[in-house]
């Protein structure tokens, strides 16, 4: 199995399908089959009605018979994100993220995205990163029992907004405060040895009213986890994120944020700080492909 080895960091490139399924079964212990329509791994039995509803919605999408009362956050030919009504007696709504595989080109290119997303989210939570809670993962079957969609069920982050929405309408002082609130997220990514590869202004979620609410991160399907924290990854993620927010924040805010972040992860020596800032400056200006971002260790 190929390995990446750089500056004392050793990690296996990706996880085997067996390991990924083991992660799912350990976290989502209740298995449910909806006749020949779907197979689900759920947090508990109370989620069966939600799984059934999601199965029908996905089949309606593929049959082009959508119901008007489905609240979609996103719908394309390869991905559907929609809200699921609150579970009876819980008041807790959920979100389903479906990777649609009915088209042949989608099947070849995106067949592992759902599996990657759910296992990476479970891994992130295990390592202390604030990410949406996972309640289920399922396969929706199509013709000839082929998997037509992989679906991740997660908590609904209703009440939180992408940071770009808050920065767009804030005053200069409010933007400064909002941006500074993200430092603990980057500390948690660093300690977890996680290269998310795309910490951007749409994936970082905050509460507008509750300033003490934790900052959450979305979209982990391409994330990579390593055995040790990496200064290179930290500066890449910080530079990439600051670049995504640069239209709304001043360079003074960026510099103060970076100084606080370096202190928060225990980087104090003058030489190391200078080295880290050079690295940050490179990633702040760089336009990197997804392939290149995945290779940063």
| pLDDT reading at 110 higher than 60 | no
Are 12 and 121 part of one and the same domain? Answer: yes
Are 177 and 124 part of one and the same domain? Answer: no
User: What DSSP designation does 209 have?
Assistant: S
Are 192 and 133 part of one and the same domain? Answer: no
**Which domain does 282 fall in, by range?**
160-294
Q: Which of 106, 122, 155 is the last residue of a domain?
A: 155
- Mark out the alpha helices in 44-162 (DSSP H runs): 48-62, 104-110, 113-126
Mean of the pLDDT values across residues 181-194? Answer: 98
Are 140 and 42 part of one and the same domain? Answer: yes
User: What DSSP designation does 163 have?
Assistant: H
Read off the pTM. Answer: 0.89
Tens of pLDDT along 194-238?
A: 999 999 999 999 999 888 889 999 999 999 999 999 999 999 999
**pLDDT at residue number 111:** 66
Are 11 and 150 part of one and the same domain? Answer: yes
59: exposed, middle or buried (C-beta count within 10 Å: 0-12, 13-18, 19+)? middle
Q: Which of 121, 155, 189 is the last residue of a domain?
A: 155
CATH code, domain with 97 = 3.30.200.20
Are 32 and 84 part of one and the same domain? Answer: yes
**pLDDT at residue number 108:** 54
Are 41 and 99 part of one and the same domain? Answer: yes
Tens of pLDDT along 68-91?
A: 678 899 999 889 999 997 666 666
Are 222 and 117 part of one and the same domain? Answer: no
Give yes or no for a contact between 114 and 175, defined as CB atoms under 8 angstroms apart: no
Are 68 and 182 part of one and the same domain? Answer: no
Token pair for residue 116? 């990657």
CATH code, domain with 219 = 1.10.510.10
Are 180 and 151 part of one and the same domain? Answer: no
Are 91 and 171 part of one and the same domain? Answer: no
What is the percent of the chain where pLDDT is above 90? Answer: 73
Q: Which of 109, 128, 155 is the last residue of a domain?
A: 155
Give yes or no for a contact between 203 and 240, defined as CB atoms under 8 angstroms apart: no
Q: How far from 64 is each of 57, 61, 108, 146, CA to CA, in Å?
A: 10, 5, 22, 18
Are 165 and 257 part of one and the same domain? Answer: yes
CA distance 33 to 69: 25
81 three-state secondary structure: strand
Give yes or no for a contact between 45 and 67, defined as CB atoms under 8 angstroms apart: no
Token pair for residue 157? 């982050």
| pLDDT reading at 14 higher than 70 | no
Residue whose entry in the numeric block shows the structure tokens 């593929």: 62
Domain count, the chain: 2
């Amino acid at each position: 199995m190929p390995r990446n080895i750089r500056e004392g960091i050793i990690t296996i490139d990706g996880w085997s399908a067996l390991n990924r399924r083991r992660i799912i079964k350990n976290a989502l212990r209740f298995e449910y089959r909806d006749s020949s329509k779907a197979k689900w791994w759920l947090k508990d039995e109370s989620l069966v009605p939600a799984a059934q509803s999601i199965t029908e919605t996905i089949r309606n999408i593929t049959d082009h018979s959508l119901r008007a009362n489905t609240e979609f956050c996103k719908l394309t030919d390869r991905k559907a994100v929609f809200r699921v009504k609150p579970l009876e007696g819980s008041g807790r709504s959920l979100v389903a993220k479906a990777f649609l595989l009915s088209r042949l080109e989608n099947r070849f290119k995106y067949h592992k995205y759902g599996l990657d997303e759910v296992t990476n989210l479970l891994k992130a939570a295990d390592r202390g990163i604030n990410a949406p809670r996972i309640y289920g993962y399922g396969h929706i079957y199509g013709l000839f029992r082929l998997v037509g969609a992989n679906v991740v069920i997660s908590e609904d982050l209703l009440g939180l907004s992408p940071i770009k929405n808050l920065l767009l309408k804030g005053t200069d002082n409010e933007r400064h405060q909002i941006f500074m609130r993200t430092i603990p997220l980057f500390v948690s990514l660093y300690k977890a040895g996680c290269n998310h590869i795309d910490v951007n202004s749409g994936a970082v979620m905050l509460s507008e009213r509750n300033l003490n609410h934790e900052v959450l991160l979305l979209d982990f399907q391409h994330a990579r986890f390593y055995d040790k924290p990496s200064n290179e990854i930290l500066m890449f993620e910080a530079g990439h994120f600051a670049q995504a927010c640069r239209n709304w924040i001043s360079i003074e805010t960026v510099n103060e944020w970076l100084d606080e972040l370096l202190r928060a992860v225990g980087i104090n020596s003058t030489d190391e700080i200078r080295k880290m800032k050079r690295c940050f400056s490179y990633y702040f200006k760089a336009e990197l492909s997804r392939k290149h971002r995945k290779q940063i260790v």
